[in-house]
Structure 1
Amino acid sequence: MEKYLSNIFFALILIAGIGYFVMNVRKLIRNIKLGKDVDRMDNKPERWKNMAKIALGQYKMVRRPLSGILHIVVYIGFVLINIELLEIVIDGLFGTHRVFQPIIGNGLYGFLVGTFEVLALLVLAAVVVFWLRRNIHRVQRFWNKEMEGWPKNDGNIILYFEIVLMSLFLVMNATDVPFQQAGAGNVISQFIAPWFNGYSPEALHTIEKTAWWLHIVGILVFLNYLYYSKHLHILLAFPNTFFANLKPKGQFTNVEAVTNEVKMMMDPNADPYAMPEEGAEEEVPAKFGASDVTDLNWVQLMNAYTCTECGRCTSSCPANLTGKKLSPRKIMMDTRDRLEEVGKNIDANGGEFKPDGKQLLDDYITREELWACTSCNACVQECPVNIDPLSIIMEMRRYLVMEESAAPQELNMMMTNIENNGAPWQYSQMDRLNWKDE
């Protein structure tokens, strides 16, 4: 029985790790579904192309070459190295050791593990550069006000995770005496193995098994940490790019009820008092725009969870660059934080939301931030995973204008002038074209 205790313990850890991850994924999906429905299943070929090019191919990352190339190294390395998890799981459950080595032969096995070792070294190098850029060089976009506290620590925690996991993988291989003696795949670990010269075979075996256990437990911890981290984009970047808005940037959505009202007002033959035809009743939204997360659509909520907090949007925002309070990254972070708060409220109240006297508008995002936006779409253009902060800003502006009549004075004056004079300026209708003669 003692022989199988290790395997049973491994199985329990594996079940607990995967089970907790599945529970968090279900919570994530539940929270995203709190958003309003929107159809994003049109033009599937273009959507698959976007997902392959942007999420898988990292197309938008390399617009900034240094960080983009380093990110690709970490992305490819981390994903491919974790293929060895299949072997680790089988070994852990059945008590075998490098079960694939005799099955596929030293040649192929050595090639695969050797590739993993080279990638592990490259990932280590890239992560060190990322740490130096973030903490020593202090790239400005990582030090904005919204990056204080947890967001700043989260970025570093992930880097430490990757350093430890890659180091454990190399140490595990370096102290595996049969693996080193076979000389198949120890491309990097052969240079680490001499560090352990003088250790007894028993000590080497203990170090190897300790590194093995810490590696697999570390991966399970990392997997469950994703839900609480900005690195959730590792999973969500794919659906996020698939369901992204395909319309031209600058083409805003309209409320159908308002559009129909305007069309009727512009039609000289329309009867404003006519009743709608039977079966053609027009659905008027309960609320125009958005004041809280449940007023947004589910794609916008998924955007919030997908945000990588890289700051490319904010560093390209003309409002932010001129000293305005607006940061598109903060818009996404605030939306995610409020959505998490709503989700915890639902969990604490038996599956129903209990009003908490708070909302996204004012409690998280200020009106000053919303009206600072120039709607230029720079943030949308720059985002490496096709997040759309502008759509959230515009929905919240719509709420302020149509529900609270709370537009800035300058905007109210402009709209009044258009209504009275047919032009944004305070001229009479007779004089409104005089500008062309100046």
Structure 2
Amino acid sequence: MSKQIAFTVFLLIASGVFGYTVNRLISFFRITKRDFKIDNIGERTKTTLLVAFGQTKILRKPVIGLLHALVWWGFIVITIGTAEMAIDGVAGTERILQFLGPLYTLIVASGDIFAAIIIIACVAFLVRRHIMKVKRFEGVEMTHKSHWDATIALLMILLLMVSLMGMNMGYMQSVENYVGAFPVSAMFLGMISGMSPESVHLFHETNWWTHIVMVFVFLNVLPYSKHFHVIMSVPNVFLTDLKPYTKMHNMPAVTKEVELMMNPDTAFAAPPEGEEAAPPSRFGVKDIEDITWKNYVDSLTCTQCGRCTEVCPANITGKLLSPRKIMVDVRRRMKDKGPHFAKDNNYTDGKSLVGDYISKEELLACTSCNACVQECPVNIDHVSIIMDARRYLVMEESSAPNEWNMMFTNIENNGAPWQFSPEDRMNWAEGIQLKVNG
């Protein structure tokens, strides 16, 4: 009974703290705009099955991708066992799901095998980060804290898996006719075969408590870590923007004005009474209150893996732009301003996302090629924020390169980016046998 009480207290505390943290993050969504719409559920479900559960984009790097995919699939299987432990902890039972019979044996055997695979994978990840020093783990946004964030999370996962296998070993040694199969843990059973029954019981209980306490700690570390993608990746993939990569979203306020101007009946007419549109508060994105809720979900989902920056042509050629940094900066800015702005819409700290966190030079370096979006394993859309921030610079600050301003002027005057009269558009075809339609 004392074990049940202690476990229930731990469960309530951990759940309460996690609930408070998540509720705080959710409150920041009220700051953002609701411009992103969810449609085409069938296509979204297909994308989620392929990208999130099938790990198709992760597997583009076959070796390390397979290791990561195995960790993810193992996480799903082991979560079933963790849920069973939670039920056992509250109810005072032992292996309550054993009534599932052969299916239960398959689940626990798979969990045991995956635990060993995850241990190997975590060691490989640590070696890549601290010994091989893979280049894409570096960058101005990858601070000392970012590296320790990843290291601590990997060490916690290692401890979770070792304690799980230790718990399995203790269970096999202490129960004569145990339920399930533990093929990997059984290989190490000789390590405790000489222990007394009391010592085996202590060994089992120590590993059980270590595992469950680490689950609670890890759960509450996640929202403050890049490893929050463990929770956010599946929803974010489901929320993928299904438009073609190179298609930009139009600004509704601007689109409406253009449509009115293109219609001879409404171009110079006053709007009907009661239908006067309120002017937009801002064109584009200057700060976090201008981003969409999907942009914020993207920032919470970012794994900081660096695959986006690794393929960015601007970054490769020495420009300041790093798509990963854009996501890190959005999350960092929301962390800095969000708690205050959620309470007071007039709050200002004299800073803004564009200018103080993301520089103009970074924004102008983007080629809009969407290589970062294509490569991202969790389908983050970096370019949408960059484009909206550019719109702010051009439409609000009149801050654009001279070449852009010349192009804008030519489009306005000539209907094309080039500086010649529309009447001269077909001059190049004079003197050649070319059939021109229209």
Q: 1:89 aligns to what SS in structure 2? A: helix
Stretch of structure 1 that moved more, 381-390 or 187-196: 187-196
Partner of 1:145: helix, strand, or coil? coil
Quote the Cα distance in structure 2 between the aligned partners of 1:84 and 1:409: 61
8 Å contact kept, 1:173–1:180: no
Matched, 1:364 2:357: yes
Query: Match of 2:79?
Result: 82
- CA deviations 1:290-341 (Å, max 9, x no partner) are 1001101111111111111111111111101100000011001100111111
Paired position in structure 2 for 1:123:
118
Question: 1:233 is matched by which residue type in structure 2?
Answer: H
> Does the CA-based 8 Å contact 1:40-1:245 persist in structure 2?
no
Q: Which amino acid aligns with 1:89?
A: A
Displacement after TM superposition at 1:193 (Å)? 2.1
2:233 aligned partner: 237
Distance in 2 (CA, whole Å) between partners of 1:108 and 1:290 is 52
Question: 1:275–1:10: structure 2 CA closer, same or farther, 3 Å change rule?
Answer: same
Q: 1:170: which partner in 2?
A: 165
Letter in 1 for 2:364: W
Letter aligned with residue 202 of structure 1: E
Matches within 5 A, 1:61-72: 61-72=58-69
Structure 1 residue 14 displacement after superposition: 0.5
The answer as to whether partners of 2:18 and 2:219 remain within 8 angstroms in 1 is: yes
1:243-258 to structure 2, matched below 5 A, reads: 243-258=239-254
Distance of aligned partners of 1:255 and 1:93 in 2 relative to their CA distance in 1, 3 Å threshold: closer
Aligned to 2:200: 204
Partner of 1:377: 370
Relative distance call for 1:211 and 1:426 in structure 2 (3 A) is: same
Taking only aligned residues, the RMSD between alpha carbons, in angstroms, comes to 2.5
Q: What's the TM-score, normalizing by structure 2?
A: 0.90
1:430 is displaced (CA, Å) by 7.0
Contact 1:117 1:170 in 2 (8 A): yes
Per the alignment, residue 299 of structure 1 pairs with 294
> Quick check: 363-372 or 205-214, which moved more?
205-214
Secondary structure of residue in 1 paired with 2:281: coil
Q: Deviations over 1:372-400 (max 9, x none)?
A: 00111111111111111100001110011
Structure 2 unaligned runs (5+)?
Answer: 431-438
Contact 2:284 2:388 survives alignment (8 Å): yes
The alpha-carbon distance between structure 1 residues 100 and 424, as it changes in their structure 2 partners (threshold 3 A), is closer
Residue 216 (structure 2) aligned to one of 213, 220, 232: 220
1:323 is matched with which residue?
Answer: 318
CA distance in 2, matches of 1:322, 1:433: 37
* Shift of residue 409, structure 1, vs aligned partner: 2.1
Cα distance in 1 for residues equivalent to 2:36 and 2:349: 30
Instruction: Report 1:383-398 matches (<5 A).
Output: 383-398=376-391
Q: Deviations over 1:324-362 (max 9, x none)?
A: 000011001100111111233257xx5666221111011
Q: Which secondary structure state, in structure 1, belongs to the residue aligned with residue 378 of structure 2? A: coil
Task: Provide the aligned length of Structure 1 versus Structure 2.
Answer: 430
Q: % of aligned pairs identical?
A: 45
Match of 2:135, as an amino acid?
Q
Is the counterpart of residue 20 in structure 1 residue 27 in structure 2? no
Gaps of 5+ in 1: none
| Distance in 1 of aligned mates of 2:44 and 2:189 | 48
1:227 CA drift (Å): 0.3
Deviating more after overlay: 177-186 vs 292-301:
177-186
For 2:165 and 2:344, locate their aligned partners in 1 and report how far apart those are by CA, in whole Å: 46
Counterpart for residue 436 of structure 2: none
Contact 2:229 2:300 (C-alpha < 8 Å) held by counterparts = yes
Q: 320-329 or 19-28: which moved more?
A: 19-28
Structure 1 residue 193 and structure 2 residue 186: aligned?
no
2:434 — aligned with what?
A: none
